[in-house]
Structure 1
């Protein structure tokens, strides 16, 4: 029953994301949903900062009664869609405490970044594979 409620929540949450954003300065859009029954990504944002670097912010929640050490990777792309090679594109860890929110923050390796792709995994299980397109 909990799984059905979670699926209904995801459909409602991400159902409106299939349309193109109305705002011309919107920097990200959700292509697919992200999460499992224990880990849920509740908000993902990206923006160009005044210094030209792109900033990514991910907020999620560990809905289980157990601590989990998550691994995440952010891959940055330029306006032509080419991957920006960087030592910053390695997997990092973020703690997800039981029944608590978690946050991931990242800055692009250079000012050419316009989009990013986020991967989150827990114990070898990929639980998030999101693509974000800038405008």
Structure 2
């Protein structure tokens, strides 16, 4: 095997191992908007699909890295292909528990077919 081929294989192996070791997921459409949560909460998994009824579904999984229970709120904003926000009574802050040193998850379904994008905001629950 040539030296350059071995280096290429080694580089790819290191990228794969590094990717497996990381639990932080970057998704531009999902964000923690409360600065006090930075570093305490991680986004670990994200899935977006269009179901058989033509409705977009999203599922978010995160991790509470702290030793404290946190009550979170999330808000999903849906958008049409043109970029306009879809008005919906479902666009509201919804609570989600985040138990200490544990994963948390939530899911949402678009209010109508034809929705092509979304934004999810996550914050500490207001008391």
Larger radius of gyration: 2
Q: Find out whether 1:95 has 2:97 as its counterpart.
A: yes
Residue 76 of structure 1 is matched in structure 2 by: 78
Residue 38 of structure 1, aligned match among 32, 37, 40: 40
List alignment gaps of at least 5 residues for structure 2.
1-21, 33-37
Displacement after TM superposition at 1:33 (Å): 7.8
1:13 CA drift (Å): 5.0
Q: 1:98 to 1:90 in 2, by over 3 A?
A: same
Q: Which segments of 5 or more consecutive residues in structure 1 lack a partner in the other structure?
A: 1-8, 15-29, 125-135
For residues 108-123 of structure 1, the aligned pairs below 5 Å read: 108-123=110-125
Question: Residue 112 of structure 1: CA displacement?
Answer: 2.0
TM-score by length of 1: 0.67
Checking the alignment, whether the CA contact within 8 Å between 2:29 and 2:118 is kept in structure 1 is no
Query: How many matched pairs?
Result: 100
RMSD across aligned positions (CA): 2.1
- Whole-angstrom distance in 2 between the partners of 1:119 and 1:66: 21
Query: Following the alignment from structure 2 to structure 1, what is the Cα–Cα distance between the partners of residues 28 and 61?
Result: 17
